[in-house]
Structure formats: C-alpha cells, structure tokens
Amino acid sequence: MNEVTTVAAAYALSAFMRDSEHIGTTSGNRAGLAEAFATVTDLVDAATGEARTVTRAGTGTVPYAEINTLADVLHGCALTAGGRAGDGSPCGDLFALVDGLSVPMPGAPRDRVADTLQSALLFAREAGTVLAGEDANLLYQLAVTGAADAGAFRPMLAESPSDWSFELRYAKTPNQLRQSGPDASGNLWKLDASTGDEIESIGAGVPAAEAAGSLRQFEDSGTNQEIYK
C-alpha cells in the first residue's frame, strides 16, 4: 500500500465506503462491489504501487498523472507520524484543508478527518462539486509541496485541473449501444459526442444501492455481452 493505491481504492470504492473503516453493500449488489474492486486494479498495479496508463485489458486510458498528483497531496502526511488539523505539520495542513472543504457523507456524522484514506475518500466524493473551480487549486498546491520530496510520484499534472474527478476513456467499438447512466459500482457513463468514446467517471455516480442491477449499461448489440468488464 502507498498513496497511489490509497487514492485508487478511495475513488473506485467510494460508493461503498461509509468512512475509512467501513465498507460494504446490500445483498442485492454484491456484483457491483466486485466491479468496484476490479476498478481499483484497473487504476493501479498493486504489485508495483504505480498508477496504470491503460486498464488491465488495454482498452481504456487511465488518468495516471491525476492519480499521481492526488497521491502527492497525501505524500507529505504519509511520511510523518501524523498530526492534527491546525498544528502546522504536513498532516495538520492536509486535514485542515479537507475539514474546511468537506461536507458530511450520506448517513454519517461530520467527523474530523484523521487519516489519508479518509482524506482521499472525501476527494472522491466531492471531486466534481466542492473540489472544483478555485478550490481545486488548493489541493494542487499541497501536491506541489508533496512532490518536492524525492520519493514523490511522477509524472504529476502540470497545473491544477478544473475538478478532481477521474475519467476512464474507452475508444468506440463496432455494434456498441450508446447508453448513459450509472453502473452497479456507482460510476457514471457518458458518450463523448465529438469522438464517440465512452467515458466512465470514477466515484462520480449515485450511491451504489440506487444503482444495483444496472451493471450492464453498455452491451454489444450482436452478442449482448458486456464490453468493458
């Protein structure tokens, strides 16, 4: 485990995590949870701890520079013994920033962030809303600080993105149905009208319980087989 695997796990499993210590699903959506764990391994190589450039099957491109950048946000804290928001330590700076931007998770009280996994989980949950626009740059500045260490993760983004959502992009294939919506892992699918590519937004979908049963969002019209999983 390192900061890259932490970020990948938090994003892929965000719909199933109540907080950094509790993960699960309903009995009707076990397949969705399994898909979410599979997405973790599409984002990162667990054996090396490095972000992938393409998915395991080689069919999708992975936002590896963005994953590395968020890993660098956590890096300074991970190198230390910890800290508390406001104490001036690397962890304190991270937790103070996340506490200032965060909103309570569904069904959970507003707890103060106390570890890097909980921080990454909040990044995933608020990637396209709270952590967008000017606030997106606050995380980027922490990444720049973390990246100054020789052991930080490369390559990272050259500048702050407009938001911190992750997108896996799959090139169009023959006989593909053009459907959009959430899958059973809580990720959202959409079509890029300009290229025809299918885009999977990781961690940006609806709660997994609401998406149960929608695992086959994109199917081959000739074989009715799932294309990506």
Domain limits, the chain: 3-164
Candidates 155, 61, 74, 76; CA nearest to 119 is: 74
CA distance 64 to 226: 25
Query: Band of the pLDDT at 193, cuts 50, 70, 90?
Result: confident
Q: Is 206 helix (H, G, I), strand (E, B) or coil?
A: coil
Summarised one tens digit per residue, pLDDT across range 108-139 is 445 577 789 988 988 888 776 666 666 778 88
Query: Band of the pLDDT at 224, cuts 50, 70, 90?
Result: very low
Return the C-alpha torsion angle 14, 17, 18, 19, nearest 10: -90
Residues in the chain: 229
Cβ neighbours for 36, distance < 8 A, ≥ 6 positions apart: 12, 13, 15, 16, 185, 186, 208
Mean pLDDT of the residues in the chain = 78
Please state the pTM of the whole predicted model: 0.79
CA distance 54 to 29: 27
Summarised one tens digit per residue, pLDDT across range 38-83 is 899 999 999 999 999 999 989 899 999 999 999 999 998 998 888 8
Query: Band of the pLDDT at 173, cuts 50, 70, 90?
Result: low
Return the C-alpha torsion angle 115, 119, 121, 125, nearest 10: 150
> Which residue type, as a one-letter code, is found at position 148?
A
Burial of 27 (0-12, 13-18, 19+ CB in 10 A): exposed
